[in-house]
Structure 1
Amino acid sequence: MRLFISCFLFLSFFSVFAQENSAPELVPIVKVDSLYREDQFYFAVTYNTLANKPSGLSKSKFSSGFSGGFLRDMPINKSRTVAIASGIGLSYSNYNQNLSITSSSDTRLYSIIDSDVNYSKNKFSLLTFDVPVEFRWRTSTFESHKFWRIYTGIKFSYLLYDKSVFNGSGGKDKITGNSDFDKLQYGAYISSGYNTINLYVYYGLNPLFKSAQIDGEDLKMKALNFGIIFYIL
Protein backbone atom coordinates (compact mmCIF):
# COMPACT_ATOMS: atom_id res chain seq x y z
CA MET A 1 0.00 0.00 0.00
CA ARG A 2 2.86 2.34 0.92
CA LEU A 3 4.55 1.57 -2.39
CA PHE A 4 1.34 2.31 -4.29
CA ILE A 5 0.92 5.69 -2.59
CA SER A 6 4.56 6.61 -3.29
CA CYS A 7 4.19 5.77 -7.00
CA PHE A 8 0.95 7.79 -7.21
CA LEU A 9 2.58 10.90 -5.64
CA PHE A 10 5.63 10.55 -7.95
CA LEU A 11 3.51 10.36 -11.08
CA SER A 12 1.39 13.35 -10.01
CA PHE A 13 4.47 15.46 -9.33
CA PHE A 14 6.03 14.46 -12.66
CA SER A 15 2.81 15.40 -14.53
CA VAL A 16 2.65 18.87 -12.94
CA PHE A 17 6.34 19.45 -13.60
CA ALA A 18 5.96 18.44 -17.24
CA GLN A 19 3.02 20.84 -17.72
CA GLU A 20 4.96 23.73 -16.19
CA ASN A 21 7.92 23.13 -18.50
CA SER A 22 5.97 22.52 -21.70
CA ALA A 23 6.87 24.71 -24.67
CA PRO A 24 4.85 27.97 -24.89
CA GLU A 25 2.27 28.28 -27.67
CA LEU A 26 3.75 29.85 -30.79
CA VAL A 27 1.86 32.92 -31.97
CA PRO A 28 2.65 34.04 -35.54
CA ILE A 29 4.16 37.50 -35.73
CA VAL A 30 2.66 39.70 -38.41
CA LYS A 31 5.22 42.12 -39.75
CA VAL A 32 3.81 45.57 -40.52
CA ASP A 33 5.42 47.35 -43.44
CA SER A 34 5.51 51.03 -42.48
CA LEU A 35 7.59 51.78 -45.59
CA TYR A 36 4.89 50.66 -48.02
CA ARG A 37 4.56 51.83 -51.63
CA GLU A 38 1.36 52.14 -53.62
CA ASP A 39 2.79 50.50 -56.75
CA GLN A 40 -0.25 49.84 -58.88
CA PHE A 41 -1.58 48.45 -62.12
CA TYR A 42 -4.23 50.70 -63.61
CA PHE A 43 -7.02 50.24 -66.14
CA ALA A 44 -9.25 53.03 -67.48
CA VAL A 45 -12.43 53.10 -69.56
CA THR A 46 -13.28 56.48 -71.10
CA TYR A 47 -15.83 58.38 -73.14
CA ASN A 48 -13.87 60.31 -75.78
CA THR A 49 -14.76 63.67 -77.23
CA LEU A 50 -12.88 66.53 -78.89
CA ALA A 51 -12.11 70.09 -77.85
CA ASN A 52 -11.37 73.00 -80.23
CA LYS A 53 -13.55 71.49 -82.94
CA PRO A 54 -13.92 73.24 -86.30
CA SER A 55 -17.31 74.64 -87.27
CA GLY A 56 -19.76 71.91 -88.28
CA LEU A 57 -17.91 69.01 -86.66
CA SER A 58 -20.00 66.82 -84.37
CA LYS A 59 -19.85 63.32 -82.94
CA SER A 60 -21.87 60.63 -84.68
CA LYS A 61 -21.74 57.74 -82.19
CA PHE A 62 -20.45 56.89 -78.75
CA SER A 63 -16.65 57.12 -78.78
CA SER A 64 -14.81 54.90 -76.31
CA GLY A 65 -11.26 54.44 -75.13
CA PHE A 66 -9.26 51.99 -73.05
CA SER A 67 -5.91 52.30 -71.34
CA GLY A 68 -3.81 50.29 -68.92
CA GLY A 69 -0.35 50.11 -67.44
CA PHE A 70 1.79 50.13 -64.31
CA LEU A 71 2.79 52.97 -61.97
CA ARG A 72 5.77 53.02 -59.59
CA ASP A 73 5.05 54.87 -56.34
CA MET A 74 7.71 57.10 -54.70
CA PRO A 75 6.54 58.63 -51.35
CA ILE A 76 8.09 61.99 -50.44
CA ASN A 77 6.83 62.55 -46.87
CA LYS A 78 7.23 60.59 -43.64
CA SER A 79 3.59 59.50 -43.41
CA ARG A 80 3.72 58.42 -47.08
CA THR A 81 0.47 60.21 -47.93
CA VAL A 82 2.19 62.35 -50.59
CA ALA A 83 4.07 60.77 -53.45
CA ILE A 84 5.28 61.04 -57.02
CA ALA A 85 4.63 58.20 -59.44
CA SER A 86 5.65 57.32 -62.96
CA GLY A 87 5.17 54.34 -65.20
CA ILE A 88 4.31 53.00 -68.65
CA GLY A 89 1.12 51.98 -70.40
CA LEU A 90 -0.90 51.70 -73.59
CA SER A 91 -4.03 53.56 -74.74
CA TYR A 92 -6.50 52.82 -77.52
CA SER A 93 -8.88 55.67 -78.43
CA ASN A 94 -11.78 55.87 -80.90
CA TYR A 95 -13.33 59.10 -82.18
CA ASN A 96 -16.61 58.76 -84.07
CA GLN A 97 -17.48 62.05 -85.81
CA ASN A 98 -18.30 63.59 -89.19
CA LEU A 99 -14.76 64.58 -90.21
CA SER A 100 -13.96 62.94 -93.54
CA ILE A 101 -10.32 61.86 -94.06
CA THR A 102 -9.51 60.75 -97.62
CA SER A 103 -6.32 60.45 -99.64
CA SER A 104 -5.31 61.55 -103.11
CA SER A 105 -1.79 61.06 -104.52
CA ASP A 106 -0.21 60.70 -101.05
CA THR A 107 -2.08 63.79 -99.86
CA ARG A 108 -4.65 63.66 -97.07
CA LEU A 109 -7.86 65.63 -97.62
CA TYR A 110 -10.11 66.77 -94.76
CA SER A 111 -13.71 67.96 -94.89
CA ILE A 112 -16.93 67.98 -92.89
CA ILE A 113 -19.39 65.37 -94.17
CA ASP A 114 -22.64 66.94 -95.37
CA SER A 115 -25.76 66.04 -93.41
CA ASP A 116 -27.40 64.51 -96.51
CA VAL A 117 -24.58 61.97 -97.00
CA ASN A 118 -25.47 58.48 -95.80
CA TYR A 119 -22.76 56.49 -94.03
CA SER A 120 -22.63 53.79 -91.37
CA LYS A 121 -19.18 54.47 -89.95
CA ASN A 122 -16.71 57.33 -89.88
CA LYS A 123 -14.01 57.37 -87.24
CA PHE A 124 -10.32 57.50 -86.53
CA SER A 125 -8.53 55.35 -83.94
CA LEU A 126 -5.21 55.87 -82.17
CA LEU A 127 -2.95 53.43 -80.34
CA THR A 128 -0.31 55.10 -78.16
CA PHE A 129 2.51 54.16 -75.81
CA ASP A 130 2.11 56.21 -72.63
CA VAL A 131 4.46 57.55 -69.94
CA PRO A 132 2.41 59.12 -67.10
CA VAL A 133 4.10 61.26 -64.43
CA GLU A 134 1.83 62.21 -61.53
CA PHE A 135 1.66 63.90 -58.14
CA ARG A 136 -0.28 61.90 -55.53
CA TRP A 137 -2.17 62.76 -52.36
CA ARG A 138 -4.03 60.10 -50.39
CA THR A 139 -5.28 59.20 -46.92
CA SER A 140 -3.57 55.79 -46.93
CA THR A 141 -1.95 54.05 -43.96
CA PHE A 142 0.27 50.97 -43.71
CA GLU A 143 -2.68 49.14 -42.12
CA SER A 144 -5.22 49.63 -44.94
CA HIS A 145 -5.21 49.92 -48.72
CA LYS A 146 -8.68 51.51 -48.78
CA PHE A 147 -8.36 55.30 -48.87
CA TRP A 148 -9.35 58.53 -50.58
CA ARG A 149 -7.03 59.81 -53.30
CA ILE A 150 -6.41 62.69 -55.69
CA TYR A 151 -3.81 61.94 -58.38
CA THR A 152 -2.93 64.50 -61.04
CA GLY A 153 -0.19 64.75 -63.63
CA ILE A 154 0.99 64.81 -67.23
CA LYS A 155 0.80 61.91 -69.67
CA PHE A 156 3.24 61.78 -72.59
CA SER A 157 2.13 59.57 -75.47
CA TYR A 158 3.84 58.31 -78.60
CA LEU A 159 1.60 57.29 -81.50
CA LEU A 160 2.21 53.68 -82.50
CA TYR A 161 -0.68 53.14 -84.90
CA ASP A 162 -3.52 55.14 -86.42
CA LYS A 163 -6.47 54.19 -88.59
CA SER A 164 -9.20 56.25 -90.28
CA VAL A 165 -12.28 54.42 -91.58
CA PHE A 166 -15.20 55.64 -93.67
CA ASN A 167 -17.98 53.21 -94.59
CA GLY A 168 -20.62 54.73 -96.85
CA SER A 169 -22.85 53.93 -99.79
CA GLY A 170 -19.88 54.11 -102.15
CA GLY A 171 -17.84 51.53 -100.22
CA LYS A 172 -15.27 51.44 -97.45
CA ASP A 173 -12.14 53.61 -97.25
CA LYS A 174 -9.36 52.91 -94.76
CA ILE A 175 -6.21 54.95 -94.14
CA THR A 176 -3.34 53.96 -91.82
CA GLY A 177 -0.01 55.60 -91.07
CA ASN A 178 -1.36 59.14 -91.53
CA SER A 179 1.65 61.43 -91.13
CA ASP A 180 -0.63 64.38 -90.37
CA PHE A 181 -1.19 63.04 -86.85
CA ASP A 182 1.25 64.36 -84.27
CA LYS A 183 3.41 61.41 -83.18
CA LEU A 184 4.17 62.96 -79.78
CA GLN A 185 1.10 63.89 -77.75
CA TYR A 186 0.81 65.07 -74.17
CA GLY A 187 -1.96 66.13 -71.85
CA ALA A 188 -2.99 66.78 -68.24
CA TYR A 189 -5.18 64.43 -66.24
CA ILE A 190 -6.70 64.01 -62.81
CA SER A 191 -8.22 61.02 -61.04
CA SER A 192 -10.06 61.06 -57.74
CA GLY A 193 -12.07 58.63 -55.66
CA TYR A 194 -12.04 55.99 -52.96
CA ASN A 195 -10.44 52.55 -52.97
CA THR A 196 -10.34 50.79 -56.37
CA ILE A 197 -12.75 52.84 -58.54
CA ASN A 198 -12.02 56.49 -59.35
CA LEU A 199 -13.26 59.19 -61.71
CA TYR A 200 -10.83 60.21 -64.46
CA VAL A 201 -10.49 63.22 -66.79
CA TYR A 202 -7.81 63.78 -69.47
CA TYR A 203 -7.30 66.93 -71.55
CA GLY A 204 -4.82 67.05 -74.44
CA LEU A 205 -2.44 70.00 -74.34
CA ASN A 206 -1.40 69.76 -77.98
CA PRO A 207 -3.57 69.11 -81.08
CA LEU A 208 -4.00 65.58 -82.40
CA PHE A 209 -3.06 66.79 -85.89
CA LYS A 210 0.12 68.68 -86.68
CA SER A 211 -0.46 69.41 -90.38
CA ALA A 212 -4.14 68.97 -91.27
CA GLN A 213 -6.40 71.70 -92.66
CA ILE A 214 -10.01 72.29 -93.62
CA ASP A 215 -10.46 75.06 -96.19
CA GLY A 216 -7.03 76.46 -95.34
CA GLU A 217 -7.68 76.49 -91.59
CA ASP A 218 -5.52 74.33 -89.30
CA LEU A 219 -7.23 71.55 -87.40
CA LYS A 220 -6.52 72.23 -83.72
CA MET A 221 -8.67 69.52 -82.19
CA LYS A 222 -7.53 68.19 -78.82
CA ALA A 223 -8.51 65.07 -76.92
CA LEU A 224 -10.97 65.41 -74.04
CA ASN A 225 -11.75 62.14 -72.26
CA PHE A 226 -13.96 61.33 -69.27
CA GLY A 227 -14.18 57.98 -67.56
CA ILE A 228 -13.39 55.62 -64.71
CA ILE A 229 -9.97 54.38 -63.71
CA PHE A 230 -9.29 51.28 -61.60
CA TYR A 231 -6.17 50.91 -59.42
CA ILE A 232 -5.09 47.39 -58.52
CA LEU A 233 -2.21 46.58 -56.15
Structure 2
Amino acid sequence: MRGLLQVLFCFISLGVVGQDIVIFDVQDRKYLEDQFYLGLTYNFLMELPIDVEQRNLSYGLQGGFIKDIPLNWDRTLGLGIGLGYGINSYYTNLRAVEQLTGVEYEILDRTTSYKRNKIETHVLEMPLQMRWRNSTPEEYKFWRVYAGMKLGYVFGNRSKFVSSTEKVGFSNPDINRFQYGLAFNVGYNTFNIHVYYSLRSLFKENASLPTGIPLNLQPLQIGLIFYIL
Protein backbone atom coordinates (compact mmCIF):
# COMPACT_ATOMS: atom_id res chain seq x y z
CA MET A 1 0.00 0.00 0.00
CA ARG A 2 2.83 2.38 0.87
CA GLY A 3 4.45 1.74 -2.51
CA LEU A 4 1.17 2.39 -4.32
CA LEU A 5 0.71 5.68 -2.47
CA GLN A 6 4.24 6.75 -3.36
CA VAL A 7 3.68 6.02 -7.04
CA LEU A 8 0.34 7.86 -6.99
CA PHE A 9 1.96 10.84 -5.26
CA CYS A 10 4.66 10.95 -7.93
CA PHE A 11 2.09 11.00 -10.75
CA ILE A 12 0.08 13.74 -9.03
CA SER A 13 3.23 15.81 -8.48
CA LEU A 14 4.30 15.44 -12.10
CA GLY A 15 0.81 16.38 -13.25
CA VAL A 16 0.78 19.53 -11.13
CA VAL A 17 4.24 20.57 -12.31
CA GLY A 18 3.33 19.86 -15.94
CA GLN A 19 0.12 21.83 -15.62
CA ASP A 20 1.96 24.80 -14.16
CA ILE A 21 4.44 24.75 -17.02
CA VAL A 22 1.71 24.62 -19.68
CA ILE A 23 -0.34 27.38 -18.06
CA PHE A 24 2.73 29.58 -17.72
CA ASP A 25 3.75 28.91 -21.29
CA VAL A 26 0.29 29.65 -22.67
CA GLN A 27 0.12 32.91 -20.76
CA ASP A 28 3.65 33.74 -21.79
CA ARG A 29 2.75 33.28 -25.44
CA LYS A 30 0.07 35.93 -25.41
CA TYR A 31 2.50 38.79 -26.00
CA LEU A 32 2.08 41.03 -29.04
CA GLU A 33 4.77 43.00 -30.87
CA ASP A 34 5.14 46.42 -32.48
CA GLN A 35 1.62 47.78 -32.22
CA PHE A 36 2.48 51.51 -32.34
CA TYR A 37 4.82 53.13 -34.84
CA LEU A 38 6.45 56.48 -35.61
CA GLY A 39 8.36 57.23 -38.79
CA LEU A 40 10.49 59.93 -40.39
CA THR A 41 11.32 59.81 -44.11
CA TYR A 42 12.99 61.70 -46.89
CA ASN A 43 10.57 61.96 -49.82
CA PHE A 44 11.73 61.55 -53.39
CA LEU A 45 9.68 62.10 -56.54
CA MET A 46 10.49 59.66 -59.32
CA GLU A 47 9.79 60.12 -63.05
CA LEU A 48 10.42 63.86 -62.93
CA PRO A 49 10.14 65.64 -66.32
CA ILE A 50 13.26 67.25 -67.74
CA ASP A 51 14.21 70.48 -65.87
CA VAL A 52 11.96 69.61 -62.92
CA GLU A 53 14.01 69.00 -59.79
CA GLN A 54 13.58 68.68 -56.06
CA ARG A 55 14.81 71.41 -53.76
CA ASN A 56 15.10 71.88 -50.02
CA LEU A 57 14.26 69.03 -47.66
CA SER A 58 11.23 67.04 -48.74
CA TYR A 59 10.17 65.13 -45.64
CA GLY A 60 7.46 62.86 -44.31
CA LEU A 61 6.14 62.11 -40.82
CA GLN A 62 3.91 59.16 -39.97
CA GLY A 63 2.45 57.48 -36.93
CA GLY A 64 -0.31 55.09 -35.98
CA PHE A 65 -1.45 51.77 -34.57
CA ILE A 66 -1.06 48.29 -36.05
CA LYS A 67 -3.00 45.26 -34.84
CA ASP A 68 -0.55 42.37 -34.54
CA ILE A 69 -2.05 38.97 -35.47
CA PRO A 70 0.37 36.06 -34.78
CA LEU A 71 0.19 33.11 -37.18
CA ASN A 72 2.27 30.49 -35.35
CA TRP A 73 2.92 29.27 -31.80
CA ASP A 74 6.34 30.95 -31.54
CA ARG A 75 4.83 34.23 -32.80
CA THR A 76 7.69 34.71 -35.23
CA LEU A 77 5.20 35.05 -38.11
CA GLY A 78 2.23 37.36 -38.15
CA LEU A 79 -0.01 39.77 -39.95
CA GLY A 80 -0.23 43.49 -39.30
CA ILE A 81 -3.30 45.59 -40.09
CA GLY A 82 -3.09 49.22 -39.09
CA LEU A 83 -4.45 52.72 -39.21
CA GLY A 84 -2.38 55.86 -39.08
CA TYR A 85 -1.74 59.42 -40.20
CA GLY A 86 0.96 60.78 -42.46
CA ILE A 87 2.03 64.26 -43.52
CA ASN A 88 4.29 64.63 -46.57
CA SER A 89 5.99 67.64 -48.16
CA TYR A 90 7.48 67.74 -51.65
CA TYR A 91 9.68 70.75 -52.47
CA THR A 92 10.33 71.23 -56.20
CA ASN A 93 10.71 73.95 -58.82
CA LEU A 94 7.35 72.90 -60.31
CA ARG A 95 4.87 75.63 -59.46
CA ALA A 96 1.11 75.09 -59.46
CA VAL A 97 -0.93 78.16 -60.42
CA GLU A 98 -4.67 78.27 -59.73
CA GLN A 99 -6.71 79.56 -62.64
CA LEU A 100 -10.45 79.86 -63.30
CA THR A 101 -10.20 77.03 -65.83
CA GLY A 102 -8.16 74.78 -63.54
CA VAL A 103 -4.59 74.40 -62.32
CA GLU A 104 -1.66 75.22 -64.59
CA TYR A 105 1.96 74.24 -64.00
CA GLU A 106 5.20 76.02 -64.76
CA ILE A 107 8.86 75.22 -64.18
CA LEU A 108 10.70 77.84 -62.15
CA ASP A 109 14.15 78.44 -63.58
CA ARG A 110 17.20 79.37 -61.54
CA THR A 111 16.73 83.08 -62.21
CA THR A 112 13.41 83.08 -60.36
CA SER A 113 13.77 84.16 -56.75
CA TYR A 114 11.51 82.45 -54.22
CA LYS A 115 11.66 81.05 -50.69
CA ARG A 116 9.47 77.96 -50.85
CA ASN A 117 7.49 76.04 -53.41
CA LYS A 118 5.91 72.82 -52.25
CA ILE A 119 3.03 70.38 -52.24
CA GLU A 120 1.86 69.13 -48.86
CA THR A 121 -0.44 66.16 -48.31
CA HIS A 122 -2.27 64.86 -45.24
CA VAL A 123 -2.97 61.15 -45.56
CA LEU A 124 -5.07 58.62 -43.69
CA GLU A 125 -2.97 55.46 -43.98
CA MET A 126 -3.70 51.72 -43.68
CA PRO A 127 -0.57 49.52 -43.50
CA LEU A 128 -1.01 45.83 -44.42
CA GLN A 129 2.02 43.74 -43.47
CA MET A 130 3.34 40.20 -43.48
CA ARG A 131 5.63 40.08 -40.43
CA TRP A 132 8.65 38.00 -39.45
CA ARG A 133 10.68 38.53 -36.28
CA ASN A 134 12.85 36.35 -34.01
CA SER A 135 11.45 37.71 -30.76
CA THR A 136 10.66 35.75 -27.59
CA PRO A 137 8.60 36.61 -24.48
CA GLU A 138 11.84 37.53 -22.69
CA GLU A 139 13.77 39.18 -25.54
CA TYR A 140 12.96 42.76 -26.49
CA LYS A 141 15.86 43.24 -28.90
CA PHE A 142 15.29 41.27 -32.09
CA TRP A 143 15.45 41.33 -35.87
CA ARG A 144 12.32 42.10 -37.86
CA VAL A 145 11.32 42.05 -41.52
CA TYR A 146 7.90 43.46 -42.34
CA ALA A 147 6.73 43.64 -45.96
CA GLY A 148 3.43 44.43 -47.61
CA MET A 149 1.37 47.35 -48.85
CA LYS A 150 0.22 50.71 -47.58
CA LEU A 151 -3.09 52.20 -48.66
CA GLY A 152 -3.75 55.91 -48.29
CA TYR A 153 -6.51 58.47 -48.59
CA VAL A 154 -5.42 62.09 -49.07
CA PHE A 155 -7.99 64.03 -47.07
CA GLY A 156 -6.12 67.32 -47.33
CA ASN A 157 -3.47 68.88 -49.56
CA ARG A 158 -2.00 72.26 -50.34
CA SER A 159 0.12 73.72 -53.12
CA LYS A 160 2.09 76.62 -51.70
CA PHE A 161 4.40 79.24 -53.21
CA VAL A 162 6.24 81.83 -51.13
CA SER A 163 8.48 84.62 -52.43
CA SER A 164 9.52 88.02 -51.13
CA THR A 165 6.49 89.64 -52.79
CA GLU A 166 3.72 87.04 -52.56
CA LYS A 167 2.40 84.09 -50.60
CA VAL A 168 -0.10 81.85 -52.37
CA GLY A 169 -1.64 78.56 -51.24
CA PHE A 170 -4.64 76.51 -52.31
CA SER A 171 -6.09 73.00 -52.21
CA ASN A 172 -4.98 71.32 -55.42
CA PRO A 173 -7.75 69.24 -57.10
CA ASP A 174 -5.17 67.50 -59.32
CA ILE A 175 -3.79 65.45 -56.42
CA ASN A 176 -4.93 61.84 -56.43
CA ARG A 177 -7.08 61.16 -53.37
CA PHE A 178 -6.41 57.42 -53.23
CA GLN A 179 -2.80 56.26 -52.93
CA TYR A 180 -1.31 52.80 -52.62
CA GLY A 181 2.13 51.27 -52.83
CA LEU A 182 4.67 48.72 -51.61
CA ALA A 183 6.20 49.02 -48.14
CA PHE A 184 9.23 47.30 -46.64
CA ASN A 185 10.62 47.61 -43.10
CA VAL A 186 13.75 45.89 -41.82
CA GLY A 187 15.90 46.41 -38.77
CA TYR A 188 17.08 45.41 -35.33
CA ASN A 189 15.83 46.69 -32.00
CA THR A 190 15.02 50.43 -32.09
CA PHE A 191 16.25 51.54 -35.50
CA ASN A 192 14.53 50.17 -38.58
CA ILE A 193 14.72 51.18 -42.23
CA HIS A 194 11.42 52.06 -43.88
CA VAL A 195 10.92 52.12 -47.67
CA TYR A 196 7.66 52.95 -49.42
CA TYR A 197 7.18 53.19 -53.19
CA SER A 198 3.86 54.48 -54.49
CA LEU A 199 2.30 52.53 -57.34
CA ARG A 200 0.10 55.50 -58.18
CA SER A 201 1.11 58.95 -59.36
CA LEU A 202 0.86 61.88 -56.99
CA PHE A 203 -1.11 63.74 -59.69
CA LYS A 204 -4.17 62.75 -61.66
CA GLU A 205 -3.83 61.80 -65.33
CA ASN A 206 -5.02 65.20 -66.60
CA ALA A 207 -2.20 67.11 -64.86
CA SER A 208 0.52 68.11 -67.32
CA LEU A 209 3.01 70.80 -68.26
CA PRO A 210 2.11 73.42 -70.91
CA THR A 211 4.12 71.31 -73.39
CA GLY A 212 1.73 68.41 -72.82
CA ILE A 213 4.18 66.29 -70.80
CA PRO A 214 2.16 64.45 -68.11
CA LEU A 215 3.09 64.79 -64.45
CA ASN A 216 3.44 61.11 -63.58
CA LEU A 217 5.37 61.70 -60.37
CA GLN A 218 5.82 58.57 -58.24
CA PRO A 219 6.58 59.20 -54.53
CA LEU A 220 9.41 57.20 -52.96
CA GLN A 221 9.91 57.47 -49.19
CA ILE A 222 13.06 56.25 -47.43
CA GLY A 223 13.73 56.76 -43.75
CA LEU A 224 13.51 55.35 -40.24
CA ILE A 225 10.57 53.81 -38.42
CA PHE A 226 10.34 53.17 -34.68
CA TYR A 227 8.09 50.50 -33.19
CA ILE A 228 6.60 50.56 -29.72
CA LEU A 229 4.95 47.58 -28.03
Q: TM-score range by the shorter chain?
A: 0.7 to 0.9
Is 1:72–2:67 an aligned residue pair?
yes
Aligned counterparts of 2:55 and 2:166: Cα–Cα separation in 1? 18
Q: Distance in 2 between matches of 1:170 and 1:195?
A: 49
Instruction: Report deviation, 1:111.
Output: 1.6
Which residue matches 2:111?
Answer: 116
Q: Is the 8 A contact 1:38 1:72 kept in 2?
A: no
Cα RMSD between the aligned structures?
1.6
- Which residues of structure 2 form unaligned runs of 5+? 1-22
For the Cα contact (< 8 Å) 2:29–2:73, is it kept in 1? no
Instruction: Give the partner amino acid of 1:111.
Output: E
Which of 207, 215, 220 does residue 201 from structure 2 map onto?
207
Larger radius of gyration: 1
- Which stretch of structure 1 is more off in the superposition, 82-91 or 101-110? 101-110
Matched, 1:227 2:223: yes
Q: Of 146, 151, 154, which aligns to 1:156? A: 151
- Per the normalisation by structure 1, the TM-score is 0.84
- Per-residue CA distance 1:91-118 (angstroms, 9 max, x = gap): 0001111011001114100121122111
Q: In structure 2, how many angstroms separate the alpha carbons of the residues matched to 1:39 and 1:213?
A: 41
Equivalent pairs counted in the alignment come to 204
| Residues 34 and 227 in structure 2, CA contact (< 8 A), matched pair in contact too | no
Deviation sequence 1:113-162 (CA, Å, 0-9, x none):
12211111101100000011001111111222221001111000000110
What aligned pairs does 1:75-224 form with structure 2 within 5 A after superposition? 75-176=70-171, 178-210=172-204, 211-214=206-209, 215-224=211-220
Structure 1 counterpart of 2:39: 44
Letter in 2 for 1:125: E
Aligned residue among 44, 50, 55 for 1:60: 55
Q: Whole-Å Cα distance in 2 between the matches of residues 121 and 85 of structure 1?
A: 38
2:52 is paired with a residue whose SS is coil
Question: 2:157 & 2:142 partners in 1: Cα distance?
Answer: 38
- Partners of 1:126 and 1:205 in 2: CA distance: 17
For structure 1, the 5+ residue unaligned runs are: 1-29
Displacement, 1:169? 4.1
Give yes or no for contact 1:44–1:66 (8 Å, CA) kept in 2. yes
Moved over 4 A (4+): none
Alignment partners' CA distance in 2, 1:142 and 1:172: 55
TM-score, normalised to structure 2's length? 0.85
Deviation at 1:202, TM superposition (A): 0.9
Secondary structure of the 1:217 match is coil
Give me the whole-angstrom Cα distance separating, in 2, the residues matched to 1:104 and 1:201: 36
